[in-house]
Chains A and B, each alone.
Chain A
Amino acid sequence: MHGFIIWLQNSAIGTWTREAFLPFPIILSIHVLGMALLAGAAFASGLRLSGFGAGIPLAQIRRLRPICIAGLILIVPSGLLLFISYPAKAVTNPLFYVKLIAIGIGIWLTWFATPKAVDDPALQSGPVTGRLKLYGAGLIAIWAFVIIAGRLLAYTYSFNNILW
């Protein structure tokens, strides 16, 4: 593990993204745009399930999936490149694992649990029920948590690219 992290960090790609001038901010911009699409689509669903934007058909909420997919297509490769640039910084920070687990929960809630919950025909018409509001609040909370954790990674690390 130790050796692998050092190898990754000193790989040609890791060195290039870390030390050249343009790649890092470009990768970060792509990562944040993906975040805005994925978390943004989840926030929109969360708002709808909380009772806002009432005319948006609940059964059609899964139409936002292509936006989530586009978000993930931007996030995952850029995230891997960020990881390769500073692998030691990531793996030594407990918050990094917390963020990954939160993303897993977020994807499960957005992709599986929420569409299943809105499929209940009894919920299709009329005002949003308490149970759906809970899903809405959950969607907003989990993706806000992912953003908080991600942003804090820049402040909570104990190793940068220093070999320990």
Chain B
Amino acid sequence: MDPMDRIIAFAHRTHIWELMNTDWGWPIAEITHYIGLSVLFGTVGLYDLRVLGVAKGLPVAPLGKLIPFGVLGFCINLVTGLMFFVSAPANYTYSPAFHIKVICMFIAGVNVIVFYSFLARRTNAVGAGEDAPLASKVVAAISFLAWTGVLAGGRFLGFFKPPQHWCEWCGLFS
């Protein structure tokens, strides 16, 4: 069976496909996805911007206390994102926009690991009015750009619904 058909079969079995194809299923999932991304940008993105020197009057550590809300936003978007994906897998699997989105998510993920392994303590010690270390700024810039790439990739998705033969490298995975 074609992998796309298998994913669709899974979506039917779990009734996700039926839910997403009701009048309001897809729009409500999209609304939730947009609110989730705004929470992510308002917490993780805000932390990144502060480390980069925006709103320098704020100490870094307390802004970090809002990051769990960003994690929640990400989890909400992972769930709603997978609901979109399993309901129309071919639109995503063969779309360059989706590939870029996933690559950006991967970069953001590795970046999070680097941050918590090496830089979190030093970065959180930055007080009101102080400059963050260069390494922290680099990681913050990568984070902000990667999430912006995830957002833009998602926004481009609706505009490319290419057939499989458009994707030259997709055959490599099947």
Contact = CB atoms under 8 A, between A and B. Distances in A.
Which of the four size classes fits the interface of chain A? 35 or more
Contacts of A40: 38-43, 45-46
A33 B38 contact: no
B31 A53 contact: no
Contacts of B158: 25
Nearest to A144: B35
Contacts of B128: 57, 60
B54 A67 contact: yes
Q: Is the interface of A mostly helix, strand, loop or mixed?
A: helix
For chain B, what secondary structure do more than half of its interface residues adopt (helix, strand, loop), or is it mixed? helix
Contacts of A55: 59, 61-62, 65
A151 B30 contact: yes
B122 to A, nearest CB: 18
A149 to B, nearest CB: 10
Nearest to A66: B54
A42 B39 CA distance: 9
A67 B46 contact: yes
Nearest to B50: A63
A51 to B, nearest CB: 11
Contacts of A48: 66
Interface stretch (B84-92, B111-119, B149-157, B164-172): B149-157
A25 B155 contact: yes
A148 B58 contact: no
Interface in B97-124: none
Contacts of A41: 42, 46
A41 B56 CA distance: 15
17 contacts: A24-B159, A32-B155, A36-B151, A37-B41, A39-B42, A40-B39, A40-B41, A43-B38, A43-B69, A47-B69, A56-B63, A67-B54, A143-B38, A148-B31, A148-B35, A151-B30, A152-B27
